[in-house]
């Protein structure tokens, strides 16, 4: 991945809207970088155990009471969820024309995905899973776990609508930032990368960005400073329909992501 490309991509698909967007984006990237892709659906072992468990109580969100035969429904619902995930992955592959497959694993979701990500240089998944009705959307536990627990890059999709917006690079002058720059240059179709530079002030930010501009020129692209300053303020001006490429470990607050983010190590 030192050239900024990806060879093997894993897409975590649970048929939730954001996971479907992640699958579509993953397929698109797979075509662009000539990578192989693997769609993965993990049947939560804990949830799977609930199916036909004689001592399980399920409480319906919509009826707010225990539902009869809920344990039996769980197994069926999981089957359907896996089927929907497979169909979505197949459709995304067909639309993008990508090479890849789809697998179902059973286990603890985070652990299974971390395991599946070994050997992959990019994992794509949704920012949150399925939200309860009326509940506030929150960063999913799986996304949180993968963002900090895999060796390769992680793309966390925050929007269901197709992107098309600008590619923005969070530049902190680190080695990971250099790799992120290479990825950003490959992602930017027009060869222009906007730089966001976390720094105490604009002058310090501009100084930091000089090297990025030079590196970008070396890669045949153009980097330009979009903003420099405190990280929280920078995130407020990121375009929602774009992709923010960031080196991992910058303290990026994933809970309040303004757009989809690609974490590069």
Partner 1 sequence: MTMPAVPALPPDQLYRSCDPETLPFVTTADLPDTEGPVGQDRAVESIRFAIGMRHRGFNLFALGPEGTGRRSLVMQFLGQAAAGQLVPDDWVYVNNFAVSHRARALRLPAGRAAGLKKDMDRLVEELGSALPAAFEAEEYRNRKQALEESLKERQEQEFSAVSREAGEKSVALLRTPVGLALAPMRDGEVLSPDDFKQLPEAEQARFKADMEALQEKLEATLKQVPHWERETRARIRELDQEVVSFAVSHLMEELQDRYADLAEVVEHLAAVAADIADNVGDFLGDGDDDRARLKRREGSEGGIRRYRVNVLVDNSGLAGAPVVFEDHPTQPNLIGRVEHFAHFGALITDFNLIKAGSLHKANGGYLVMDARKLLMNPFAWEDLKRALKSREVRIESPGQSMGLMSTVTLEPAPIPVDVKVVLIGDPMLYYLLSHHDPEFAELFKVAADFDWRMERTDATMLGIARSIATLVRKESLKPVDRSGVARVIEQASRDVEDSGKLSTHMGSLADLVREADYWAGRDGAGVISAAHVQQAVEAAIYRQDRVRENVQEEIRHGTVHIATEGETVGQINGLAVLQLGRFSFGRPSRITARVHAGKGDVIDIEREVDLGGPLHGKGVLILSAFLAARFGAEMPLSLSASLVFEQSYGGVDGDSASSTELYVLLSALGEVPLRQGLAVTGSVDQFGRVQAIGGVNEKIEGFFDLCVARGLDGTQGVLIPAANVRHLMLRRDVLEACRQGRFAIYPIETVDQGIELLTGLPAGIADAKGEFPAQTVNRKVQARLAAYARRAEEHARRAESARDRRGPP
Residue 52 interacting with partner 1 (CB under 8 A): yes
Counting residues that bind partner 1 (by CB under 8 A) gives 34
* Piece of the chain touching partner 1 by CB under 8 A; list 56-64, 96-104, 177-185, 244-252: 56-64
Residue 11 interacting with partner 1 (CB under 8 A): no
* Least Cβ distance, residue 44 to partner 1 (angstroms): 8
Question: Binding partner 1 by CB under 8 A: which of 2, 65, 68, 175?
Answer: 65
Candidates 252, 172, 182, 175; CA nearest to 207 is 172
d(C-alpha 213, C-alpha 191), whole Å: 12
d(C-alpha 50, C-alpha 80), whole Å: 16
Tokens 């344990």: give the residue: 71
Question: Binding partner 1 by CB under 8 A: which of 2, 68, 134, 189?
Answer: 134
DSSP state of 159: -
Residue 255 interacting with partner 1 (CB under 8 A): no
Name, in order, each residue with C-beta under 8 angstroms of 54's C-beta and a sequence gap of 6 or more. 71
Residue 164 interacting with partner 1 (CB under 8 A): no
* Least Cβ distance, residue 135 to partner 1 (angstroms): 7
How many alpha carbons fall within 13 Å on the CB side of residue 258? 18
Residue 165 interacting with partner 1 (CB under 8 A): no
Dihedral (CA of 13, 15, 21, 25) sign: positive
* Least Cβ distance, residue 122 to partner 1 (angstroms): 27
């Amino acid at each position: 991945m030192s050239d900024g490309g990806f060879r093997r991509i894993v897409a975590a698909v649970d048929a939730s809207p954001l996971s479907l967007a992640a699958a579509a984006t993953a397929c698109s990237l797979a075509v662009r970088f000539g990578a192989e892709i693997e769609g993965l659906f993990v049947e939560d072992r804990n949830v799977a155990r609930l199916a036909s468990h004689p001592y399980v109580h399920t409480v319906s969100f919509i009826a707010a009471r225990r539902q009869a035969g809920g344990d039996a429904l769980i197994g069926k619902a999981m089957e359907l969820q896996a089927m929907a995930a497979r169909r979505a992955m197949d459709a995304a592959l067909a639309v993008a024309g990508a090479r890849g497959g789809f697998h179902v694993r059973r286990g603890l979701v985070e652990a299974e995905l971390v395991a599946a990500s070994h050997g992959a240089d990019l994992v794509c998944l949704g920012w949150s899973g399925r939200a309860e009705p009326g509940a506030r959307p929150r960063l999913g536990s799986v996304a949180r776990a993968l963002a900090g627990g895999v060796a390769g890059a992680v793309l966390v999709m925050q929007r269901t609508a197709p992107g098309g917006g600008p590619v923005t690079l969070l530049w902190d002058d680190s080695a990971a930032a250099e790799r992120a720059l290479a990825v950003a240059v490959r992602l930017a179709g027009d060869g222009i990368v906007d730089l966001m530079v976390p720094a105490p002030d604009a002058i310090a930010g501009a100084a930091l960005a000089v090297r990025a501009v030079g590196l970008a020129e070396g890669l045949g692209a153009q980097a330009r400073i979009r903003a420099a300053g405190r990280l929280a303020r920078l995130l407020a001006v990121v375009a929602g329909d774009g992709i923010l490429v960031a080196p991992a470990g910058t303290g990026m607050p994933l809970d309040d992501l303004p757009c989809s983010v690609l974490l590069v190590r």
